[in-house]
Amino acid sequence: MSLSPSQLTALRSLLDRIIPADDFPGALAAGTDTYVLRHLLGDGSAGAHVLLLGFSQLDAETVARHGAHQTFATLLPPQQDALLADLAAARPMTFWPPPLAAAPWFHRLVELAHEGFYADPANGGNRDAASWGMLGYAPRTTPERAAP
Amino acid sequence: MTSDHDVIIVGAGLAGGILAGVLAEGGRRVLLLDRGRSLAYSEIPGDHLRNHRLTLYGDHTTPDPAGHPRVFIDGAGVPHTVLPHDARYQLNAFTVGGGARVWGMQAWRFHPDDFRMATRYGVPDGSSLADWPIGYADLAPFYERAEHEIGVAGDHAGTTHAPRARDFPLPPVPRSPSAEWLARGADRLGWRTFTPPLAVNTRPYLGRGACIQCAQCIGFACPTDAKNGSHNTLLPRALASGRCTLVTRAHASRVLTDGSGQAIGVEYFAPTTTDSATLERRTARARTIIVSSGAIESARLLLLSASPLQPYGLGNHGDHLGRHVQGHAYPIAYGLLPPDVESSLLGPGVSVATTQFNHGNPGIIGGAMLANDFVKLPLIFWRQSLPPDTPRWGLANKRAMRDLFRRGIDVRGPVQEIPSPDSRVTLDPAVRDTFGLPVARLSGTTHPETVRTAEFMRARAEEWLRASGAERVWSWPAEKKFSAGQHQAGTCRMSADPRDGVTDPFGRVHGHDHLFVCDGSLHVTNGGFNPALTIMALAFRTAEHLLASP
């Protein structure tokens, strides 16, 4: 199983809106897309393949609102945010084939993005502990003497 | 028939390790079985997605989760087959040392009135509220022993809810600025606070180092092995005695009984060689059998051990086995510190508590201890601690995380639950584990009085934050739900009269000369406190009772 190039582009644009960059790195700079992709493609967790279809649906929602010349990735950030707010509120403009549904799909991606972004760097979505640096958090578990 | 062992203990958790230590040092030959392994610190990594406070995708202490489901019956009576990382499973750590490998270390004595709830409050309709057959005075010497031999840090003068004869062996954990802020708020309300007891080395003790105040404490193993339990105290003593054999990855399937119904041994599945994936069926015999597997699995093992003489399970003559399941309802009030008070990122974090409301609340049965919380992981904060009107995504969410992570504060407490006979562990009629044995089936819900007490305590928690000067305060109403989890208790309750419970006041299964239960299962009620120190005290008491028995 893999993502098409257009699905991958939509995924990255989506993550960039869920956790945008500002004075601190956002999802893309922290490598959160790597974490989400690993989750969707790697561990075969139940429902992951259904979630993949949502990225194509994201482009379909874009076309329904802005015309066939646009994809989610080519929209301006305010347009992207407005579209996502519609999905979050369960107001899609296209048919989402069950078991896919707009609001649960978006909320799951929001969860996945934040899991990757705020978890420990070893999970792959928080490169160089970027989010922890923003928060001032560090585990500080290095002991003076190693535990057994 | 001869045997290589005098005692078989099923479960090397907090209680099992203590039993093994006292009995082996007392000259008994002990076989200690545990379904998990002895895990090195490096085998329980700092994984923020898989730990005992956030088991999103599992955890690092549960072996073979897929082969060991449970069945959870929801409020509509619908069964769900659930795996360990699902909250409905009611997981406690399946590893040598048990939950104490990764716990929050709160090491509370119960209040004297926690042992006589029915006498003090009467028995509410639909509940199975009862007094313990023992009182605080019976346990006090063993509480003291647990504090010293496991290692508890505390404030002797300030810890007044239960009489104390001897100081803690370790000085209390340091107070964070936000805990001092809470203490000042409590002063304004006229509430007395103190530094709560934690089983942590605040200085080097018993040959191990001190806590380094890391920010990854509850849910994780300790980098300096300063987090105390039986795995780093009594269990090493048991093994050093030369009289304790620990077999890991050993799954007990049955307590064996003879023609008269008396327990004579244990059947279990264990690896053919130490590292083998292949498990073989074995039996071991001993004069004394102690089941110490937690309130869910201990009850399940006694149910699985039914025989023609005891067709409903061992100790189930009075229909109490597996009933009265309790954990703790846990009301939490969240708030935001004022900008001039920063929350500390120094662990463990719990450093201010009040026992003002454990009893004596007008019109309310029991109550709870209240305390501040552990240092929070960023992801847990994102999931649970942002103000409820914060957008869940986008720049607004990110900025809220940045601005509020160091300003979040919460106060919470374990509410003494009012037991219900319908909150139960039974054997599922359909779902089987990897050995073909029926799995635990969990059903029932909270007694309404528990919800009422939880709501009363939620209001006290909010009141505390407001009086302290929190900028915002919010919380979520208590709900009825099946409650067990890491504080699981009650399924093999003690009783003086065999008709009223599963075991006698020393944990001996009624009607059995040599079969004991020793873990939270014995708790008739579960106190308004974290239950671990009571589990430990009972283990010391049962072990000494056995050594004193001919």
What is the average pLDDT value for chain B, to the nearest integer? 96
Confidence of residue A145 (pLDDT cuts 50, 70, 90): very low
Would you mind telling me the total number of residues written for chain B in this entry?
A: 550
Q: How far apart are CA B212 and CA B347, in angstroms?
A: 8
In a domain, B2, yes or no: no
Which amino acid is located at B125 in the chain? D
Find the residue in A nearest to B208 (Cα).
A147
Q: How far apart are CA B461 and CA A129, in angstroms?
A: 34
Q: Which of A22, A134, A139 sits opposite B216 (nearest CB)?
A: A139
B66 contacts chain A (CB < 8 A): no
Task: Return the sign of the alpha-carbon dihedral for residues B408, B227, B137, B419.
Answer: positive
> Is 90 exceeded by the pLDDT of residue B380?
yes
Q: How far is CA B514 from CA B184, B251, B286, in A?
A: 53, 21, 9
Q: How far is B125 from chain A (nearest CA, A)?
A: 41
Q: How far apart are CA A10 and CA B328, in angstroms?
A: 45
Chain A residues whose beta carbon lies within 8 Å of the beta carbon of residue B391: none
In a domain, A55, yes or no: yes
Rounded to the nearest 10 degrees, how much is the dihedral formed by the CA atoms of B221, B180, B196, B119?
A: -130
Strand pairing partners for B474? B334
In a domain, B1, yes or no: no
Chain A residues whose beta carbon lies within 8 Å of the beta carbon of residue B407: none
> Is 80 exceeded by the pLDDT of residue A45?
no
> Is 50 exceeded by the pLDDT of residue B20?
yes
Question: What region, left, alpha or beta, does residue B199 occupy, with left being phi > 0 and alpha being psi -120 to 50 degrees?
Answer: beta
In a domain, B271, yes or no: yes
Q: Are strands B50-51 and B473-475 parallel, antiparallel or unpaired?
A: unpaired
Q: Which of B45, B222, B398 sits opposite A147 (nearest CB)?
A: B222
- Given this model, what pLDDT does residue A142 score? 86
> Within a 10 A sphere around the Cβ of A145, how many other Cβ atoms?
10
In a domain, B85, yes or no: yes
Confidence of residue B343 (pLDDT cuts 50, 70, 90): confident
- Given this model, what pLDDT does residue B156 score? 98
Confidence of residue B1 (pLDDT cuts 50, 70, 90): very low
Cα angle B340, B342, B344; round to 5: 160
Among residues A19, A10, A7, the alpha carbon closest in space to that of A111 is found at A19
Which residues have a Cβ under 8 Å from the Cβ of B270 and sit 6 or more positions away? Answer: B33, B247, B249, B250, B251, B279, B280, B282
Interface probe, candidates A115, A142, A144, chain B, greatest B C-beta count within 10 A = A115
Q: Are strands B79-82 and B244-247 parallel, antiparallel or unpaired?
A: unpaired
Cis peptide before B163 (omega within 30 of 0): no
Chain A residues whose beta carbon lies within 8 Å of the beta carbon of residue B216: 139-141
Cα angle B510, B513, B516; round to 5: 65
Q: If you average pLDDT over residues B508-534, what whole number do you get?
A: 98
- Given this model, what pLDDT does residue B103 score? 97
> Within a 10 A sphere around the Cβ of B36, how many other Cβ atoms?
23
Burial class (CB in 10 A: 0-12, 13-18, 19+), B115: buried
Q: Are strands B70-73 and B263-271 parallel, antiparallel or unpaired?
A: unpaired
Among residues B149, B109, B173, the alpha carbon closest in space to that of B533 is found at B109
> In angstroms, how far is CA B539 from the centroid of its own chain?
14
Chain A residues whose beta carbon lies within 8 Å of the beta carbon of residue B45: 122
Higher-pLDDT residue of A43 and B145 is B145
- Given this model, what pLDDT does residue A44 score? 55
Write the DSSP assignment of A22-35 as a string of letters. SSS--TTTTTHHHH
Confidence of residue B344 (pLDDT cuts 50, 70, 90): confident
Q: How far is B14 from chain A (nearest CA, A)?
A: 19
Q: How far apart are CA B211 and CA B204, in angstroms?
A: 8
Q: Where in the sequence is the domain holding B424, given as residue range(s)? A: 7-548
Find the residue in A nearest to B221 (Cα).
A147
State the alpha helices, DSSP H only, in B469-548. 532-548
- Given this model, what pLDDT does residue B64 score? 79
> Is 80 exceeded by the pLDDT of residue A129?
yes
Q: Where in the sequence is the domain holding A50, given as residue range(s)? A: 5-135
Chain A residues whose beta carbon lies within 8 Å of the beta carbon of residue B223: 141-143, 147
Say if the Cβ atoms of B48 and A26 lie within 8 Å.
no
Say if the Cβ atoms of A135 and B378 lie within 8 Å.
yes
Tell me: the pLDDT tens digits for B270-301? 999 877 888 999 999 999 999 999 999 999 99
Q: If you average pLDDT over residues A18-28, what whole number do you get?
A: 98
Higher-pLDDT residue of B231 and A42 is B231
φ/ψ (deg, to 5) at B370: -120, 140
Say if the Cβ atoms of B212 and A141 lie within 8 Å.
yes
Measured between its terminal Cα atoms, the distance across chain A in Å is 41
Q: How far is B402 from chain A (nearest CA, A)?
A: 5
User: How many domains, chain A?
Assistant: 1
Tell me: the pLDDT tens digits for B237-264? 999 999 999 999 999 999 999 999 999 9
- Given this model, what pLDDT does residue B276 score? 84
Confidence of residue B3 (pLDDT cuts 50, 70, 90): confident
Strand pairing partners for B194? B353
Q: If you average pLDDT over residues B436-462, what whole number do you get?
A: 98
Q: How far is B148 from chain A (nearest CA, A)?
A: 22
B279-285, strands of its sheet edge to edge: B251-257, B263-271, B279-285
**Contact between B317 and B511 (Cβ < 8 Å):** yes
**SS3 at position B526:** coil
Q: Which of B47, B221, B398 sits opposite A19 (nearest CB)?
A: B398
Q: If you average pLDDT over residues B97-115, what whole number do you get?
A: 98
pTM above 0.90? Answer: yes
A vs B: CB pairs below 8 A:
107
Interface probe, candidates B39, B43, B49, B55, chain A, greatest A C-beta count within 10 A = B49
Q: How far is CA B237 from CA A85, B36, B392, B513, in A?
A: 60, 20, 50, 27
- Which DSSP state fits A91? -
Q: If you average pLDDT over residues B318-334, what whole number do you get?
A: 98
Find the residue in B nearest to A119 (Cα).
B48
> Is 80 exceeded by the pLDDT of residue B335?
yes
CATH of residue B253: 3.50.50.60
State the alpha helices, DSSP H only, in B378-439. 378-384, 394-404
Among residues B32, B100, B103, B140, the alpha carbon closest in space to that of B538 is found at B140
User: How many domains, chain B?
Assistant: 1
**SS3 at position B542:** helix
- Given this model, what pLDDT does residue A147 score? 46
In a domain, A109, yes or no: yes
A68 contacts chain B (CB < 8 A): no
